[in-house]
Structure 1
């Protein structure tokens, strides 16, 4: 019994010693295993990130210089003048020829001829003169060709002897100065840009004055026209004094020995006296630098009789020397050419024929009448 207890005590002591030894022994930490480095692929560079620090920046490209256009010459403009007018005005010519070709020209026929002419805005007085001359010639010349007679009389009515040259050359070494005026919406700014193209095609040097300071869009539009043909545009602050801008433009033209300065003025209603007085001021201020050689009044051909009212007022303020008829290809009332010339005693010098940059042509009485008659 005593031996059994001794064995049990000895076993308990051995188990206790073994437990103490196990606790006292330090545990070994497991070393984490680093993941394998990724292999370079076709779309991943193997170069370490530090290599990109010293990479040179990409060169900055210089903006390309604007390509200057070469405007169209006068000869091809006249060809298009005939084509465009023949399309829009041929109804007038066909109507007159159909009536004059009748076997019997009675009073009803002559009244119909008068109606056709007046409807085309030829005007009452010019219409009566034309009809009287046609009646006399057809009665005297008998079997003469009505078309040939009508052509001769229409050309005489449009007056081929008027001086339609643009006065764009100054004297005493000073530039020619062209003042462009008109009401809102007639197409003044576009006309200025197109005249510049005509002059550049003739190898003249040109400066444009953006004196329509009340419309930022007009100034930007003119700058675009100038950029396309390499012409300088003098501009001032928005809402600034138009006379000051016009003065600076002409001054620049004088100092640089430019051939022609064209001044775009603000559109104004002919019944606003204050605005009309301002236009007179622009002309007076400009002439402190150089004489104004041409005052062009831009008229919308589609306005008909209202255009005549505008023409009278503008002519009184700035002594208009020439007419530019825009949108003539979009109007069937080509007779406005005759009436506005009669009203002002000044010639139609240019006609607008469309929206293209070179759709402005010198006016020719013969070409106009030939287009009417087809």
Structure 2
């Protein structure tokens, strides 16, 4: 048989899913691994989905998505951040942010174009760059600097082949929220070298300290920035698969072109549920964010008390403690912790070289389970 696609063949399976699969075969496991809310989608949103099904809204929508949903997304960005996007031509509804990332990179990149990826970062960034024919170029961030992106380090990685920068803020796996000054410096660099910026802002509502900066509002950024967002995290709608792209018209129109041949449209029922998520009451989201914040404070304090240096996560729902005191590399630490104490975490190394020496712990789980996990991790550390 002829060889299959070399880029995809060379791509390793997700390091996150590997530990999730091991944990699924064990009893009494406390999973701090997969980044998914433990809340159920708010009732008024589920009810809108039920109503949509009962009334036969099971057809295709326009490729770009329901006009009403696009209008609400653009109005929401304008109200919260002062962002200015047109629902007609600059906004596209995608099947989750994952599809949005894939579409964006396929539109931006020609074969061999380089994309700078500050790490530690979400595990999909580098593979999606490679799948689109690009070459991911890692640049490190440091936990001592709260994982802020250093424009000088990025500048040193730029070559004539550099086309774009991909970043997430608030960040998975670190929980870091990029300071506005760091983003302004990054935009100046992008202007200087004529680069695009892909900004993954799926966790924008989950910000606990400081303020989230929508990259599209930074002076000079709008014409070269693609914003990615969605409903999975703050609205607890992971399985509904609804995301969005807001971008300059030439980019957005080409994203629609790829989308119409590959996905056609996001699910009609899910889009109507998302309409309710934005137009209905926001109390449930505020309550979930407040609960995450309580868990964050308790869990980070607990990690520090058992001797694990832990950077302050400013957003998302992840803690990224240093496990260097254990003497183990992050993969060995995660595997032994899972086997001996039945606590699932993710090795920091799967998020890039800068993640080595850390593990990612999701605190999107009930507080009693987080407290029990701390007891087990402390016991594990004492056994080493």
| Structure with greater Cα Rg | 1
Q: Does the TM-score normalized on the shorter chain lie above 0.5?
A: no
Q: If the length of structure 2 is used for normalisation, what is the TM-score?
A: 0.33
Q: If the length of structure 1 is used for normalisation, what is the TM-score?
A: 0.34
